[in-house]
């Protein structure tokens, strides 16, 4: 990484959060079971040439992705995103005081929410080709979504998709078995060991797993500090159990055999959250999947330092150009 003087991350995290102008259009969508999901749309400065469905990761929320969304609108995309059920300002499955616990019985729940959001909000306003950009848990859900035969999409860009999860040195079979047992005997809503409610005192920039950039690292914590309703804590036994089951499902070649759209997988190599080698194995199961590795990047590639982001953006632009044409941003540079 270049030798530069960095601002103090703790001071940055204490600053008030800021959204760009004009702000995205925010709405709430009532789901068939009565739950509510919050969603957003960012419009490009000119008529849209394509549409992007942007899916964020675990514990994330619309505001964190504002800078990234504007990178896409500068390229001519109309951008749609949502707060997953259990995150942001969408419905939480557990009532207070347990609302921060990331509880999920099955990823199919989120997949159904996504289908409803796509049908009611995105497709009626689609302009040009429809592309998915999805990060981490969002990338996992995008892969599930595509594997079930959805044909609306022209291409997918997956950033550090959750193709597996790190078990922090504990053998994976042990964690998998424990999560299954604890969920079955009624402890699915309990935090897994080492997990808990969000506590700003437990988060510092030093040795964080997601980015080398202090300003972008601070954004998540600025919003959590000033808007406690956005906070999401650690994972529950049920979330772990659902994740292992879903990862194993996507590991079967027959699950993804029918997916033939072009996929670009951005794989950070300094990622302690997702085993990087699982990206290579994941991509081999697809007909048209390309992996690009970023040796210096942590988990959040497009929230990394400018030099790493610029490289990732250049790779994305090259990948999408045959599908949606040269971007406004690329033409201007």
Plot region of 88 (φ>0 → left; ψ -120 to 50 → alpha; else → beta): left
Residue 173 CB-density burial (10 A; 0-12 exposed, 13-18 middle, 19+ buried): exposed
Distance CA 174, CA 168 (A): 12
* Helix (H) or strand (E) run with residue 39 in it: strand 36-42
In a domain, 10, yes or no: no
In a domain, 198, yes or no: yes
Q: Which residue has the tokens 């959750």?
A: 162
* 200 or 182, higher pLDDT: 182
In a domain, 308, yes or no: yes
In a domain, 323, yes or no: yes
In a domain, 5, yes or no: no
Decide: helix, strand or coil at residue 112.
helix
Q: pLDDT tens for residues 35-58?
A: 999 999 999 999 999 999 999 999
In a domain, 237, yes or no: yes
Q: What is the DSSP string of 136-179?
A: THHHHHHHHHHHTT----SEEEEES--SS---TTS-HHHHHHHH
Q: Which of 7-16, 74-83, 255-264 comes out lowest in average pLDDT?
A: 7-16
Q: How many domains does the chain have?
A: 1
* Strand 50-55 to 77-82 pairing: parallel
What CATH code is carried by the domain that includes residue 65?
Answer: 3.40.50.1820
Q: pLDDT tens for residues 93-152?
A: 999 999 999 999 999 999 999 999 999 999 999 999 999 999 999 999 999 999 987 789
Whether 94 and 103 have beta carbons less than 8 Å apart is answered as yes
Q: Which domain holds residue 188?
A: 20-332
Structure tokens at 115: 């289908």
Residue 97: asked if its preceding bond is cis (omega within 30°), the reply is yes
> To 5 degrees, how large is the angle CA 306–CA 315–CA 137?
80
Q: What is the DSSP string of 212-244?
A: S-HHHHHHHHHHHHH-GGG----BBHHHHHHHH
Structure tokens at 17: 């959060």
Q: pLDDT tens for residues 285-315?
A: 999 999 999 999 999 999 999 999 999 999 9
Distance CA 182, CA 184 (A): 6
CA 209 to chain centre: 15
Neighbours of 190 (CB within 10 A): 16
Structure tokens at 7: 């601002």
* pLDDT band at residue 4 using 50, 70 and 90 as cut-offs: very low
In a domain, 14, yes or no: no
In a domain, 172, yes or no: yes
């Amino acid at each position: 990484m270049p030798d530069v003087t960095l601002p103090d991350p703790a001071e940055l995290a204490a600053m008030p959060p800021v959204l760009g102008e004009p702000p995205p259009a925010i709405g709430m969508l009532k789901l068939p079971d009565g739950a509510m999901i919050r969603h957003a749309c960012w419009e490009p400065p000119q008529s849209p040439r394509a549409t992007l469905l942007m899916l964020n990761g675990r514990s994330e929320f619309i505001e964190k992705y504002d800078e990234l969304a504007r990178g896409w609108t500068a390229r001519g995309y109309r951008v749609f995103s949502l707060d997953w059920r259990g995150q942001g300002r969408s419905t939480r499955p557990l009532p207070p005081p347990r609302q921060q616990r990331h509880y999920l019985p099955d990823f199919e729940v989120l997949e159904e929410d996504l289908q409803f959001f796509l049908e009611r909000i995105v497709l009626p306003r689609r302009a040009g080709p429809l592309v998915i950009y999805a990060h981490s848990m969002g990338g996992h859900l995008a892969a599930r979504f595509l594997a079930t035969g959805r044909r609306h999409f022209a291409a997918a860009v997956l950033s550090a998709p959750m193709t597996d999860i790190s078990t922090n040195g504990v053998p994976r079979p042990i964690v998998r078995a424990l999560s299954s047992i604890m969920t079955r005997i009624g402890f699915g809503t309990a935090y897994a060991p080492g997990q808990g409610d969000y506590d700003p005192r437990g988060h510092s920039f030093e040795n964080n797993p997601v980015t080398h950039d202090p300003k972008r690292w601070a954004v998540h914590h600025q919003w959590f500090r000033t808007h406690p309703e956005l906070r999401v804590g650690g994972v529950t036994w049920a979330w772990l159990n659902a994740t292992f089951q879903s990862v194993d499902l996507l590991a079967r070649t027959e699950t993804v055999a029918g997916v033939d759209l072009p996929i670009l997988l951005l794989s950070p190599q300094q990622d302690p959250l997702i085993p990087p080698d699982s990206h290579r194995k994941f991509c081999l199961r697809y007909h048209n999947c390309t992996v690009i590795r970023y040796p210096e990047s942590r988990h959040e590639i497009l929230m990394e330092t400018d030099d790493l982001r610029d490289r990732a953006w250049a790779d994305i632009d090259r990948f999408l150009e045959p599908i949606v044409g040269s971007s406004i941003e690329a033409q201007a540079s």
